[in-house]
């Protein structure tokens, strides 16, 4: 069956008769008709370079209209869009560029230097296309051109007759458990996440305006900023800069979005800022993913800004959220229930299904699951089990059918011979008014037994608090064995480019005494 994601997301809106409606807002704006025309020209320009079906086009770009055009043009032309983290350094970008075998790289001015360094070291790259004024110097056999000259090609390409199973999008994992791997997604996967999470759970409407803190270089962000708004004829707002509370407040007030997407860490940052409650007066719903959202954060955000947050979990391998709370059915401290169209299982270490109330490994089945990892046979066989995906997360289902995250499967630790979930202890710490961020890991004590240790980033303008007070706080709200035996104060916590906490790096820094500390307490 012929199916193309660019046609489904964009060109169909023009056929629906809403070509004059505003589609995207960035440093420039574009209607659906204007965006459709630009994508058609850009697709012809990419094909005019001599690129063929399934060739990879890597995007090292700021979130803006040019990046949206580049992604959609690759889909339209039957090429593979490969957006990658703009936080990569030269060595990291070189590794994924060489791994992908990309023939063309598109970059924006902010990231030209890093992209050029990686291009010089990646023998498959033949074209470096720059969206901006920069003119980088690279090896002589690479053709450097302006993205504008490609996107404004005089020709118009017909939508390439891709099939549902044709490659459309490769997304690199964020590296929480090792080196990034490219999850390969079909054109049909894009439609699936739109029709399931986007329309049925999120309930996105044509009158919505979307603002995502999560960037388009990873699964959560590209769904929020591109797939969901376009599939229903809504409007997407882009922000090029790295988000800060001040920048986000300005964007909120200027564009008045109705849907706001972020990760738990950024919601915590907003609560620790001076952003006015009025900034969120237009937001009918917030969305969170990337890691578990503690109930305390949800409740504090609702009380201050008046917006409920839908907590969900997705993955690069599943393309977007497959387990989520939904409007009118939000249970704070849980990740909700399966998104329509997905099946979930919780299994024990032997692969057997467990009963409600028993923690186990979370598996998901649905039509948006990636085809596998590029050039990672062993990892693919471990993670992709037939039609099922092993998420690597530990979950427990309560008697009412709500799922609660217990952390990554390899994050659980034992204290006194009993399993302890780091996220549960972190959630308790975050209920304390002085705590802005928290990470709990297991470190061996003098006897060689792992004990919970908490690393805490204090909120701004907090009342003085000691490690002993935080340990007592946990003892009062949790079973005593779950309390952290030590509390370390730090300036910040290590995270991936997508904002996920990297517990293994927290542990590494503690072991090497390299984490910035202010005080500790031990009991």
Q: What is the spatial order of strands in the sheet that 104-108 belongs to?
A: 143-146, 127-131, 104-108, 56-60, 80-83, 167-172, 182-186
Domains of the chain and CATH, by start: 5-185 (3.40.50.980), 413-522 (3.30.300.30)
Per-residue pLDDT at 177 exceeds 90: no
Look at residues 452, 461, 462 and name the one whose alpha carbon lies nearest to residue 488. 452
Per-residue pLDDT at 518 exceeds 50: no
Please name the residues in contact with 207: beta carbons below 8 A apart, sequence gap of 6 or more: 234, 258
pTM confidence score: 0.83
Give tens-digit pLDDT for 267-313: 988 998 999 999 999 999 999 998 788 898 899 999 999 999 999 99
Three-point CA angle 462, 464, 466, nearest 5°: 125
Distances from the Cα of 85 to the Cα of 127, 217, 293, 335, 454, angstroms: 19, 5, 23, 26, 29
Per-residue pLDDT at 174 exceeds 80: no
- Estimate to the nearest angstrom the gap between the alpha carbon of 427 and the chain centroid: 21
Give tens-digit pLDDT for 376-416: 999 999 999 999 999 989 999 999 999 998 877 777 776 65
The residue behind tokens 């960037």 is 215
Please report the pLDDT score of residue 520 as a whole number: 44
90 pLDDT band (50/70/90 cuts)?
A: confident
Q: What is the mean pLDDT of residues 324-330?
A: 96
180 pLDDT band (50/70/90 cuts)?
A: confident
517 pLDDT band (50/70/90 cuts)?
A: low
Give tens-digit pLDDT for 98-130: 999 999 999 999 999 999 999 999 999 999 999
How far apart (Å, rounded) are the C-alpha atoms in residues 57 and 74?
7
Q: What is the mean pLDDT of residues 219-245?
A: 97
């Amino acid at each position: 069956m012929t199916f193309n994601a660019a046609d489904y997301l964009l060109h169909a809106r023009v056929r629906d008769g809403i070509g004059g409606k505003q589609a995207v807002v960035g440093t420039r704006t574009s209607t659906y008709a204007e965006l459709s025309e630009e994508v058609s020209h850009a697709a012809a320009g990419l094909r005019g370079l001599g690129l063929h079906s399934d060739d990879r086009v890597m995007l090292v770009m700021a979130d803006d209209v040019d990046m949206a055009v580049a992604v959609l043009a690759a889909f339209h032309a039957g090429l593979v869009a490969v957006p990658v983290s703009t936080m990569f350094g030269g060595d990291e970008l070189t590794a994924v560029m060489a791994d992908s075998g990309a023939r063309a790289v598109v970059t924006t001015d902010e990231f030209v230097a890093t992209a050029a360094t990686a291009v010089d070291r990646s023998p498959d790259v033949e074209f470096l296309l720059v969206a901006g004024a920069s003119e980088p110097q690279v090896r002589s056999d690479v053709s450097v051109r302006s993205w504008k000259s490609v996107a404004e090609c005089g020709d118009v390409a017909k939508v390439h007759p891709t099939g549902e199973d044709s490659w459309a999008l490769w997304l690199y994992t964020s590296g929480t458990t090792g080196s990034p791997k490219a999850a390969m997604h079909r054109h049909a996967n894009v439609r699936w996440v739109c029709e399931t999470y986007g329309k049925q759970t999120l309930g996105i409407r044509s009158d919505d305006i979307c603002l995502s803190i999560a960037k388009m270089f990873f699964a959560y962000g590209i769904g929020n900023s591109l797939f969901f708004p376009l599939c229903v004829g809504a409007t997407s707002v882009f922000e090029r800069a790295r988000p800060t509370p001040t920048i986000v407040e300005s964007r909120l007030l200027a564009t008045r979005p109705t849907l706001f997407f972020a990760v738990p860490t950024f919601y915590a940052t907003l609560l620790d800022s001076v952003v006015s409650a009025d900034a969120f007066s237009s937001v009918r719903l917030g969305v969170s993913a990337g890691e578990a959202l503690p109930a305390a954060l949800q409740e504090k955000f609702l009380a201050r800004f008046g917006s409920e947050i839908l907590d969900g979990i997705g993955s690069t391998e599943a393309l977007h959220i497959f387990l989520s709370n939904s409007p009118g059915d939000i249970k704070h401290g849980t990740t909700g229930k399966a998104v329509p169209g997905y099946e979930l299982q919780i299994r024990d270490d032997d692969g057997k299904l467990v009963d409600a109330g028993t923690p186990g490994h979370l598996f998901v089945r649905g039509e948006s699951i990636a085809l596998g990892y590029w050039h990672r046979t062993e990892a693919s066989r471990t993670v992709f089990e037939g039609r099922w995906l092993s998420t690597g997360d530990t979950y427990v289902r309560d008697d009412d059918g709500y799922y609660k995250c217990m952390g990554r499967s390899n994050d659980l630790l034992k204290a006194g011979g009993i399993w302890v979930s780091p996220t549960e202890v972190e959630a308790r710490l975050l209920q304390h008014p002085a705590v802005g961020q928290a990470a709990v890991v297991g470190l061996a004590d003098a006897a060689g037994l792992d004990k919970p240790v908490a690393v805490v980033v204090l909120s701004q303008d907090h009342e003085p608090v000691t490690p002993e007070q935080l340990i007592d706080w946990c003892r009062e709200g949790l079973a005593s064995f779950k309390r952290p035996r030590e509390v370390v104060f730090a300036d910040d916590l290590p995270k991936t480019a997508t904002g996920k906490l990297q517990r293994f790096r927290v542990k590494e820094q503690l072991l090497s005494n390299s984490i910035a500390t202010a005080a500790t307490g031990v009991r």
